[in-house]
Structures are given as C-alpha cells and as structure tokens.
Structure 1
Amino acid sequence: METSELHAYLQNNNNGIVNWEALKARLQPKALKINGIPVFMFDLTFDITQKLIDDQLVISIQRPFSSVPMHVHPYIEMVYVYRGQCTVIINDQQIPLSQGGMMLIDKMTPHTVLETTEEDIVVDMKLKHDYLSTGFISRITSKSIISEFLIHSLIDKRKTNQFLHFPLHGVVKTGQIMEQLMCEYFDRGINSHDIINSYLVILFTELIRHIDDLQLSAHSRSTEDSSVVDYLRYIEEHYTDCSLVDMAVYFKFHPNALSAILKRTTGKSFKDLLQLQRLNKAALYLKNTDIPIADIAEEVGYSSLSFFHKKFKEIFNETPSQYRQGTRSYMS
C-alpha cells in the first residue's frame, strides 16, 4: 500500500457506530474502580474492521458518533489524530488533540475518547509489548548525555502522569512516519514485522526530540528546566577540558548554584555528567576505531590510564578491551 492509497482506506473504514450496550453484553467486561473512578476492563483488541485480534500491535479507528465509557486495559494505547480532532478524557482531565497530535496512555489508566464526527479520523494503536520499556529505548539512545537525559525524563514523566501528550502542531515528519507504519501494517508483506518495529523505533526517536513540547501538567516549566539541554550540550561540546568554573562563567551562574541546578534537574553532579560524556565518547571510539586504548583515554580527557579503566568499568561493567571485543563480536 502506498501513502496515496492510505487515506482512501482509512476513510472507507471510518464508519459503523459502536453499540456499547451490545458490545458490553457480548464481551462482559469486568467493572472496576480505580482511584474511585468506575471503569470497565478491556483486555481484548479489535482490528480496523472490528474483528477480534490477538497481536502485539493492533491498529484500529475510533468510530464516529460512538462513545465508550471510561475504561482501562493492560496494554499501552496510542491515540493519533490522522485528520480533524478529538478530545481524550483521562484522570478527570479533558485534553484536546488536533491533527497530527498523539497521546500515549499507560497501562491501567482510566480514559475514554469523546464522540468524533465523520470528518475526523482518529487512529488507535494498541501496544501490548511495552515500546517505552528500557530494553526498547536502548535501541534508540545514542552515546550522548542529552539523549540519555531526555529518554529518562520521558520515562519518568510517563510513570508519574500515566500518559504522554505530544501536540506536534505543524510537525510533518511524525505524520509521515505514521503513514508509512500504517501502510506496512494494513498491507503486510515479507518482513513486515521487522519493518513495523523499525518504524516504531524511528517514531519514538522523533517523539523524544519533541519532549520539550510535552504538555504533562498545568505547571509551566521553570527557566532552569528549560535550560538543562543547553547545560548538557555545553558539557558535550567541551568535555575534554570542561570545568564547572568555566561553565558557570559561561552561563553567568555561581559555580555552587550551577552545580545545584544540574543535580536537581538531572539527578547527577557536574562531575558525574562530565565522566559519563567522556566515557560515552570513549565507547564510541572503542566500537568504531582501532585507536589504542591509551590514546583513546587521553583523547577524551583522562591523563591517568588506570583511572580511565576504573571509571569505564563502573559505567559499562566491563573493561575497555572487553567492551571493544564484545562490540566487534556483535557486529561480525
């Protein structure tokens, strides 16, 4: 299926009102209370034609003029507005989504989507495998203190808020990725599973890029929080000879104040962040070059080879030579 055919496919299947009472009688979902909220437990999934399906990834459509009561399910759900708009109610909050917007709803989180019209095409993606788990995220993270900070921040906010909201107003790339993913999903071919998983990696990588646009609470982010990436970028760019004093002068802070901000916003001290960046850079050299280990240690800012070995093993749980051997074996 080409992207030019996807719109017609979604439009042709964007019909058929869901009769909740009939669905309730047929499926007999459990009635629960979560945090005092009456909800139904949905542990079954339906494909775009409303047939029961038991796959790790299921894509369907929110039927226009249909309303399903507040419910939960034991898998992650992504609500994506392909066209038009919708409103998601989650934990007593009404959150509007416009075209291109996405919301990731965590497992067992009470929610529902209000009625849409035939002008709206709202796609539901059920993710039974946790695509925001540490294992999956490890496929995304690069050897960068910025990417690691953003990924950990994303996971922490998901745990705290039980959902992630990506408005993505005017962002074209995520929509294009979703289109390619859906084309592959609705028209399976050889290795479709691997291709779909690859699109998911790309999609979540793009979402991580837009973490600053997350609307996760009514509280606006502080000036300090909004500058964290700038602080980390400075360390990444000056890691070979970076000092807290120089960095504080650059950002017009007292060194103690800057140190406290870094600890509060990242959970790591300046010294820890600097070590991590140096060691991450060393890991890239070990993986991709044949430069002697002693030269790599000096290149990334270590004057003592034994201290470099000690710190590297603390972070990676193996010596630099073991790490180099392991990555070469994996690639061969």
Structure 2
Amino acid sequence: MDISILEKQLKLMSGFEKKYSGTPEQPKRYSHIEEVLTFSKNKETDIVPVDYFFKPEQNVVFLKHPRYIQFTEHRHSFIEMNYVLSGTSKQYINGKEVILKKGDLCLLNTNVIHSIDSASEDDIIINIMIRTSYFDSALLQRLSGNDLLTDFFVNAIYKQKKESQYIIFSDGEGNRLKDLILQALSEYYHPQLCSNEAINSYMLLIFTELLRGYHNTPKKSSERIFRKAVISDILAYMEHNYETITLEKTAEKFHFHPNHLTRLLKSNLGKTFIELSHQLKIKNACTLLENTDLIIDHIANKVGYTNITFFYKSFKKIHGITPAEYRKKKMKAPL
C-alpha cells in the first residue's frame, strides 16, 4: 500500500472517534475499556490484560490511538510504544506530565502506570504493543550494542519488576523511523504473503533505528557494559543448547564458578539458572505443540525432560494450563 495513502487514511475519523469528536473540550473517559474491564482503584491491580489486545497467535499489535478520548491511569503486562506521527501527545507517567511531539517515540516498560490526555484532530499517534515473549535471547544479542535497551528489555522480560521505566526517542527532522513504522503498519493493516515475516523484519529495523538515533545514552562503566555483553552471550548459549545444558557446563563454557554464574544470572535477570532453563525448554515445547503432531510425551523428551510428570508440572506453572489444553487453544486460534 502507498504510504501517502495510508497517512491520509490515518487522519480520517473512525466511527468510534466520531462518537466523541463533538465535545473535544469535555473529553470523555475511554468507556469502551471500562465496559470490558473492572478496574480497581488500587493501582496495583489496574492491569490491561494481554488478551484484550492480542489474538493468541499475535506477538505485535499496531493501532491508531483513538482521538478525543481520555485514557485513565492503567498499566500493561506487555511493552508499549507510542509514536507521534503528527501533532502532539500529552501523557502522565507516574503522575509526571510528558509531552511528546511529532517524531517522538515513547517506549514504556511493563507495569508503568500511565494515562493519556485526549488527542485533537491533528494528533495522530501510533500504538505498538509487544508481548515480552517476543524478545528472545537472539534479539537481545542484536540489541547488546546499546546497554540502555539491553537493560530495558532484560528488566521487562526476566525481572518483571514493577519499575517505572520508560525511554523517549526523538526522530528529529529525520523520516526513517516514520517510514519504517508506516511500512510495518501497512503490512499489519493489509496482510499479504509473508506479512508476519515482513513485520518482524521491520521491528528489527525500528529497534536498530532507535539505537542509532539515541544520542544521549548515559555512559555506563566498562564493567557494566562487559557484564551485559556476557549475559547476552550466556542467554544465546542457553537458547542453542537448551536440551542438554547444565549449570556446570555453562559455567565452564564462560570460565565462571557455578556459584558465581548463579549470582550473576539472579542479580541481572532476577531468575536462577534452573528457572531460565525450564523457561527455554517450555518455550520450545510450545513451538512443537503449535506446529507438529508429535505426542506430548515425545515433545517432553525432545526438549530435554526425562521426567514427564515434571514436564507437565513445569508447563502448567509457566502457562497455567496443561500442554494438551495449550495445543487445543492454539488450534482454535483464527488464522
């Protein structure tokens, strides 16, 4: 689709926006979410669930942010990116006013409490929502050239603390970030052959552009940069050898004492070696459940479990359902 046509379409009012555009001086709250969700006054529980935006097979979702509507305080269990295509966007992150201008992108970590003021006719904001599971160790390795983003995604994926992390990137007068986002948006709105692969490629390019454009990255000590680089290498090694890895073998590979490796992973990722190992095995088991007809016991053995009962216990601990229920749920998911 021609990008200029897409930009014109984004400026058109949806039926939902028309409903609220008559009284922009008295912006209404986002009643649609309030109809679907029961938000507690306790901010610790005001979480927009992943399933509200994501279909089971989706890792990345693109939306045009609805105008004329005030979004009340909330937080997500997924990562959110807000890109200002035109106009401005006033947001409140942990009660602090943040003004985003044209070309700015705000990257919000999981659990950040934020609200968004109503947008006017000229304020076109693109929301990009990303599951934390989208960021595997291979992607983290690609981002390891910038300690800022590595820290950000490691916190989002592994630590999952209720921290108030957000980063604002400015595209300035450049248009490359804008073009990449619009190209990805076009693939999302008008899917064609291999559109999912195209979107994944655009996401990598978007993150690459963010890395290149961030000129004010705080300088970290060489020791901290080295530690993050090592963590990325360890995660990549574990990803490639998940079936047979042990703490001792991994420690030997990176010339650490096993106790030191344990402390390193726990302090940087918030998880033990065993927890990460099970996470990788179950992740690959999910891929086999979704894409093969292998019996579940065979899948358990294939990803490195010799104790089938323990495999079922580990799977349910991570996903809340059994492997059979997971496979059935994915088979019912729309193509």
TM-score, with structure 1 as normaliser: 0.57
Q: CA deviation at 1:98?
A: 0.8
Paired AA for residue 188 in structure 2: Y
Pairing 1:26–2:32 present: no
Paired AA for residue 42 in structure 1: V
Paired AA for residue 89 in structure 1: Y
Aligned to 1:305: none
Paired AA for residue 314 in structure 1: F
Q: How does 1:10-89 map to 2 (within 5 A)?
A: 10-13=10-13, 15-17=17-19, 20=29, 22-24=31-33, 26-31=35-40, 33-34=42-43, 40-43=46-49, 55-89=58-92
Q: How does 1:1-332 map to 2 (within 5 A)?
A: 1-13=1-13, 15-17=17-19, 20=29, 22-24=31-33, 26-31=35-40, 33-34=42-43, 40-43=46-49, 55-132=58-135, 134-140=137-143, 147=145, 149=147, 151-155=149-153, 161-213=164-216, 225=219, 262-263=222-223, 266=225, 313-314=253-254
Paired AA for residue 12 in structure 1: L
The 1:152–1:28 alpha-carbon spacing in structure 2 relative to 1, beyond 3 Å, is: closer
Paired AA for residue 16 in structure 1: K
Mapped to 1, the partners of 2:52 and 2:121 lie a distance apart of 20
Q: CA deviation at 1:187?
A: 0.8
Q: CA deviation at 1:314?
A: 3.0
Residues 140-189 of structure 1: per-residue CA shift (max 9 Å, x gap): 55xxxxx1645535546877642121122223211111111111111100
Q: CA deviation at 1:102?
A: 0.6
Identical amino acids, percent of aligned pairs: 19
SS across alignment from 1:208: helix
Mapped to 2, the partners of 1:105 and 1:186 lie a distance apart of 23
Retained in 2: the 8 A contact 1:140–1:201?
A: no
Retained in 1: the 8 A contact 2:39–2:46?
A: yes
The 1:21–1:116 alpha-carbon spacing in structure 2 relative to 1, beyond 3 Å, is: closer
Q: CA deviation at 1:106?
A: 1.4
Paired AA for residue 64 in structure 2: I
The 1:78–1:130 alpha-carbon spacing in structure 2 relative to 1, beyond 3 Å, is: farther
Retained in 2: the 8 A contact 1:80–1:103?
A: yes
Paired AA for residue 266 in structure 1: I
TM-score, with structure 2 as normaliser: 0.56
Retained in 1: the 8 A contact 2:59–2:134?
A: no
The 1:33–1:135 alpha-carbon spacing in structure 2 relative to 1, beyond 3 Å, is: farther
Mapped to 1, the partners of 2:30 and 2:154 lie a distance apart of 37
Q: CA deviation at 1:30?
A: 3.4
Mapped to 2, the partners of 1:189 and 1:139 lie a distance apart of 27
Retained in 1: the 8 A contact 2:170–2:213?
A: no
Retained in 2: the 8 A contact 1:177–1:199?
A: yes
The 1:127–1:156 alpha-carbon spacing in structure 2 relative to 1, beyond 3 Å, is: closer
Residues 288-317 of structure 1: per-residue CA shift (max 9 Å, x gap): xxxxxxxxxxxxxxxxxxxxxxxx9537xx
Retained in 1: the 8 A contact 2:80–2:108?
A: yes
Paired AA for residue 5 in structure 1: I
Mapped to 2, the partners of 1:166 and 1:29 lie a distance apart of 33
The 1:21–1:198 alpha-carbon spacing in structure 2 relative to 1, beyond 3 Å, is: closer
The structure with the largest alpha-carbon Rg is 1
Mapped to 2, the partners of 1:262 and 1:129 lie a distance apart of 28
SS across alignment from 1:70: strand
Residues 219-250 of structure 1: per-residue CA shift (max 9 Å, x gap): xx5xxx3xx7xxxxxxxxxxxxxxxxxxxxxx
CA RMSD in angstroms, aligned pairs only: 3.5
Paired AA for residue 150 in structure 2: H
Mapped to 2, the partners of 1:197 and 1:45 lie a distance apart of 20
Mapped to 2, the partners of 1:86 and 1:161 lie a distance apart of 19
Mapped to 2, the partners of 1:202 and 1:21 lie a distance apart of 32
Mapped to 2, the partners of 1:111 and 1:139 lie a distance apart of 29
Retained in 1: the 8 A contact 2:94–2:112?
A: yes
Q: CA deviation at 1:32?
A: 5.2
